[in-house]
């Protein structure tokens, strides 16, 4: 590989084969590192608060919150693992070997796929809660939700190991120089992955939430006019329905934000370009995808009073008191 004279190399000892570093102005590089590091820490901290809240307080042990817990775990991994690596790749130099390159992409693909799977499960949960409320409590139980969450993660691991099997055998097969970490899916594998991790799930999410939106609007009108088919069961049922509708709106915001953040990442595939992930791919699209993991807990803080109450109890260390897990935070 030819290099410009005087260019800074990732591996100076391999002058003819080393990749060149990207050297932005020092002030811009420092500002970018500080900003991205703050986003990474904030993402990890906020999602850790979600995990502690849902696991500690018994009132939050519901099927819907279990799905939020699974999503928070994947978002936490984004903040702890994927974001720091992307920060290190700002100079376009991979310095830790082919094995770590393969491991990084496997983890990246698994976390991304599990996040998409969690969004699909959340959409199904809201669809059943709003469109089939009479059977929701008997159909959607904690045990079944736990099984679905475990199945989502297991399928994500198996699926991504399968589509990356050739890359795992030869992690450096697509590298053009020393210091590059790149995985390129062939057209068939890339098309299959594009359908299973983007087109299919996105269509399911959109269709389910369109149905949820239509039903939620009709139910909201019925409650406002006091014309509801379950009015004989009293105000408790009406309050419960309002709670379900509010949860649907909140999780609808989560889903819409997710779609906004994930679409630019897959936009090259939508126009027929090679399905490729590398240190040279659009950093803005990658960071927008990762930034979604930071936005989710922020949305919870705005829309869920229980999250704000649990944060207060965590920071005041009241969760260390006996029987704090039975506290009333709803």
Tally Cβ neighbours within 10 Å of residue 59.
Answer: 15
Give the count of domains, the chain: 1
What are the residues whose beta carbons fall under 8 Å from the beta carbon of 125, sequence distance 6 or more? 63, 64, 67, 140, 145
- What is the CA angle 239-241-242, rounded to 5? 65
104, 85 contact by CB (below 8 A) = yes
Q: Establish if 173 belongs to a structural domain.
A: yes
Q: Establish if 6 belongs to a structural domain.
A: no
Q: Establish if 15 belongs to a structural domain.
A: no
Full domain range(s) for residue 159:
26-326
Q: Establish if 88 belongs to a structural domain.
A: yes
**Secondary structure (H, E, C), the chain:** CCCCCCCCECCCCCCCCECECCCCCHHHHHHHHHHHHHHHHHHHHHHHHHHHHHHHCHHHCCHHHHHHHHHHHHHHHHHHHHHHHHHHHHHCCCCCHHHHHHHHHHHHHHHHHHHHHHHHHHHHHHHHHHHCHHHHHHHCCHHHHHHHHHHHHHHHHHHHHHHCHHHHHCCCCCCCCECCCEEECCHHHHHHHHHHHHHHHHHHHHHHHHHHHHHHHHHHHHHHCCCCCCHHHCHHHHHHHHHHHHHHHHHHHHHHHHHHHHHHHHHHHHCCCCCEEECCCCHHHHHHHHHHHHHHHHHHHHHCHHHHHHHHHHHCCHHHCCCHHHCCCC
Residue-level pLDDT at 6: 47
Residue-level pLDDT at 98: 82
What is the C-alpha to C-alpha distance for residues 302 and 280, in angstroms, rounded to an integer? Answer: 36
Q: Establish if 306 belongs to a structural domain.
A: yes
Alpha carbon separation from 102 to 107, 170, 171, 228, 259 (Å, rounded)? 9, 9, 6, 56, 27
Buried b / exposed e across 195-206, counting CB within 10 Å, b at 16+?
eebbeebbebbe
Does residue 258 surpass a pLDDT of 60? yes
Q: Establish if 20 belongs to a structural domain.
A: no
List, for residues 183-232, the tens digit of each pLDDT value.
877 777 777 888 888 888 888 988 888 888 777 777 666 666 654 444 44
Considering the entire predicted model, what is its pTM? 0.83
Buried b / exposed e across 95-111, counting CB within 10 Å, b at 16+?
eeeeeebbebbbbbbbb
Q: What percent of the chain has pLDDT over 90?
A: 24
Q: Establish if 12 belongs to a structural domain.
A: no
Q: What percent of the chain has pLDDT over 70?
A: 81
Q: Establish if 1 belongs to a structural domain.
A: no
Residue-level pLDDT at 280: 37
What is the C-alpha to C-alpha distance for residues 183 and 322, in angstroms, rounded to an integer? Answer: 51
List, for residues 45-99, the tens digit of each pLDDT value.
999 999 999 999 999 999 999 999 999 999 999 999 999 988 877 667 787 778 8
18, 179 contact by CB (below 8 A) = yes
Does residue 4 surpass a pLDDT of 80? no
Tell which residue, 40, 71, 61, 39, has the closest CA to residue 255: 71
Residue-level pLDDT at 206: 86
First to last CA, the chain: 62
* CATH number of domain containing 92: 1.20.1070.10
Return the higher-pLDDT residue of 277 and 327. Answer: 327
Does residue 274 surpass a pLDDT of 70? no
Residue-level pLDDT at 247: 61
Which one of 21-30, 95-104, 121-130 scores highest in mean pLDDT? 121-130
Positive/negative CA dihedral, 158, 163, 168, 171: negative
Residue-level pLDDT at 248: 63
């Amino acid at each position: 590989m030819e290099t410009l004279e005087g260019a800074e190399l990732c591996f100076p000892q391999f002058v003819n084969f080393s990749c060149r570093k990207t050297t932005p102005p020092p002030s811009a590089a420092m500002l970018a590192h500080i900003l991205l590091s703050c986003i990474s820490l904030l993402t990890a901290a906020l999602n850790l608060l979600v995990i502690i809240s849902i696991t500690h307080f018994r009132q939050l042990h519901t099927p819907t919150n279990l799905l939020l817990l699974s999503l928070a775990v994947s978002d936490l991994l984004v903040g702890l693992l994927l974001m720091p690596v992307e920060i290190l790749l700002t100079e376009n130099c991979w310095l830790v070997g082919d094995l770590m390159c393969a491991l990084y992409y496997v983890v990246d693909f698994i976390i991304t796929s599990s996040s998409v799977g969690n969004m699909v499960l959340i959409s199904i949960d809201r669809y059943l809660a709003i469109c089939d409320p009479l059977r929701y409590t008997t159909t959607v139980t904690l045990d079944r939700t736990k099984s679905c969450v475990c199945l989502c993660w297991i399928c994500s691991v198996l699926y991504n190991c399968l589509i990356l099997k050739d890359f795992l055998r030869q992690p450096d097969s697509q590298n053009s120089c020393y210091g590059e970490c790149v995985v390129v899916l062939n057209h068939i594998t890339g098309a299959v992955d594009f359908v299973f991790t983007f087109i299919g799930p996105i269509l399911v999410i959109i269709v389910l939430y369109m149905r949820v939106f239509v039903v939620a609007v009709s139910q909201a009108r019925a409650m406002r006019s006091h014309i509801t088919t379950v009015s004989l069961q009293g105000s408790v049922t009406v309050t419960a329905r309002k709670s379900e509708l509010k949860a649907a709106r909140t999780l609808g915001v989560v889903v819409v934000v997710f779609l906004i953040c994930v679409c630019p990442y897959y936009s090259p595939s939508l126009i027929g370009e090679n399905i490729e992930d590398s240190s040279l791919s659009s950093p803005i699209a990658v960071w927008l995808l990762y930034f979604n993991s930071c936005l989710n807990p922020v949305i919870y803080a705005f829309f869920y009073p229980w999250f704000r109450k649990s944060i207060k109890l965590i920071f005041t260390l009241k969760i260390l008191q006996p029987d704090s897990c039975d506290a009333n935070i709803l």
